[in-house]
C-alpha cells in the first residue's frame, strides 16, 4: 500500500509544490474551490433540478432549453443514488484505511493549512469525489464548452484540496475514482431499473 500511496516520493513532492502556491488571490481561489467541492452542496443541486422539474411541468412550452421531464426525473434519481454510493464509499475508505492528513505526517512548518479539515482521515478526498460525481452525472447533458468548464471545475476542486493542506495528490485521485465509480454504478442501476 505504501508504494501505491507514496508514488516513490512523488506524492509528497507534488503536495509540497501545490501547497506552496500562495498569495491573496490564489488563496481566495483555492478556498472557493474547496467550497465548491463540498458534499453539503448537494441539496442546492437537487433543489435546482426539482425547480427545473416544476418549471417543465408548469410551463412545458417555455422549457425547450431544459432536458425532458423524464430526463430530469432520471437525473434526480441518478444523482441521489450516486451521492449515497459515493459518500458511503468515501466514508468507509476514510475510516477503514485511516490515512492521516498531510499536516499530521509532514514536518511542522512545511505545510500551509488554509482550511481546517472535517476529520483526521485523508484518503480519499470527499471534495474531489463529489466534484467528479457531479461531472460524471452532468457530462452527457452538456455541450462541449460546458463539459470543458465542468472539467476545469473538477480539476480546480482537486488542486484546492492539496493547496489548502487537506490532502495529498493520491487522496485527490482516489476521490476522483470514487466519484466516477459511484456515478457509473448509479447510472447503471437507474437505467437497468427503467428497462
pLDDT in tens, 148-167: 999 999 999 999 999 999 99
Mean pLDDT score, 108-126? 86
Cα(115)–Cα(161) distance, integer angstroms: 9
- Please report which confidence band the pLDDT of residue 12 belongs to, taking 50, 70 and 90 as the band edges: very high
Cα(103)–Cα(112) distance, integer angstroms: 8
Asked whether residue 74 is domain-assigned, the answer is yes
Written as nine digits, the cell of 43 is 441539496
Q: State the total domains in the chain.
A: 1
pLDDT of residue 3: 61
Asked whether residue 1 is domain-assigned, the answer is no
Q: Is the pLDDT of residue 65 over 80?
A: no
pLDDT of residue 67: 73
Which residues, listed in sequence order, are joined to residue 121 by a DSSP beta bridge?
A: 100
pLDDT of residue 105: 86
Asked whether residue 97 is domain-assigned, the answer is yes
Q: What is the CATH number of the domain that holds 100?
A: 1.20.144
Q: Which domain holds residue 72?
A: 8-194
Asked whether residue 133 is domain-assigned, the answer is yes
Mean pLDDT score, 102-126? 86
Looking at per-residue confidence, does 194 or 74 come out higher?
Answer: 74
Q: Is the pLDDT of residue 64 over 70?
A: no
Name the region of 193 (left: φ>0; alpha: ψ -120 to 50; beta: rest): alpha
Amino acid at each position: 500500500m505504501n508504494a501505491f500511496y507514496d508514488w516513490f516520493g512523488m506524492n509528497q513532492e507534488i503536495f509540497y509544490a501545490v501547497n506552496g502556491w500562495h498569495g491573496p488571490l490564489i488563496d481566495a481561489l483555492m478556498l472557493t474551490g474547496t467550497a465548491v467541492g463540498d458534499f453539503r452542496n448537494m441539496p442546492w443541486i437537487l433543489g435546482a433540478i426539482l425547480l427545473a422539474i416544476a418549471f417543465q411541468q408548469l410551463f412545458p412550452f417555455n422549457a425547450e432549453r431544459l432536458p425532458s421531464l423524464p430526463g430530469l426525473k432520471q437525473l434526480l434519481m441518478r444523482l441521489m443514488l450516486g451521492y449515497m454510493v459515493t459518500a458511503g464509499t468515501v466514508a468507509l475508505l476514510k475510516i477503514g484505511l485511516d490515512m492521516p492528513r498531510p499536516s499530521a505526517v509532514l514536518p511542522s512548518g512545511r505545510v500551509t493549512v488554509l482550511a481546517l479539515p472535517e476529520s483526521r482521515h485523508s484518503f480519499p478526498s470527499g471534495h474531489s469525489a463529489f466534484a467528479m460525481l457531479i461531472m460524471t452525472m452532468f457530462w452527457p447533458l452538456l455541450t462541449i464548452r460546458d463539459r470543458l468548464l465542468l472539467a476545469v471545475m473538477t480539476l480546480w476542486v482537486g488542486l484546492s484540496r492539496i493547496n489548502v493542506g487537506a490532502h495529498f495528490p493520491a487522496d485527490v485521485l482516489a476521490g476522483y475514482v470514487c466519484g466516477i465509480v459511484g456515478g457509473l454504478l448509479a447510472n447503471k442501476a437507474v437505467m437497468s431499473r427503467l428497462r
